[in-house]
Amino acid sequence: MSEQSAIRVQIFGTEYNIHAEGDPDHARAVARYVDRKMRDVANYISLRSVAKIAVVAAVNLAHELLKEEEASREMGNTLTEQTHNLASFTNRIA
């Protein structure tokens, strides 16, 4: 089981106690990233509700995640295809 530590982070002006699994610095970096995304939303969209800002930021973060997952999947497919091509080439010259 991974080691957890309690840390305090601030996101969009509110402090939170979170339990960080693994490296606490990573959890702090995640909190800073979420804070930055919420501030970006607040700067570009005239929303007053923190909850609505959080939802729009969450949707933006989910969009980024899904794009990265798709890119990773495509890269994996390309790598698999190139590996098969190389194996076929190697078998032909052997």
pTM of the complete model: 0.77
Q: What is the DSSP letter of 58?
A: H
Domain total of the chain: 1
Could you tell me if 59 and 34 are in contact, meaning their C-beta atoms sit under 8 angstroms apart? no
For 76, the domain range is 4-93
Q: What is the DSSP string of 45-57?
A: S----HHHHHHHH
Q: How many CA atoms lie within 13 A of 49 on its CB side?
A: 5
As averages over each run of 10 residues, the pLDDT of the chain (94 residues) reads 82 95 93 97 91 96 97 94 88 80
- The whole-number pLDDT of residue 46 equals 87
- The whole-number pLDDT of residue 88 equals 86
- The whole-number pLDDT of residue 2 equals 58
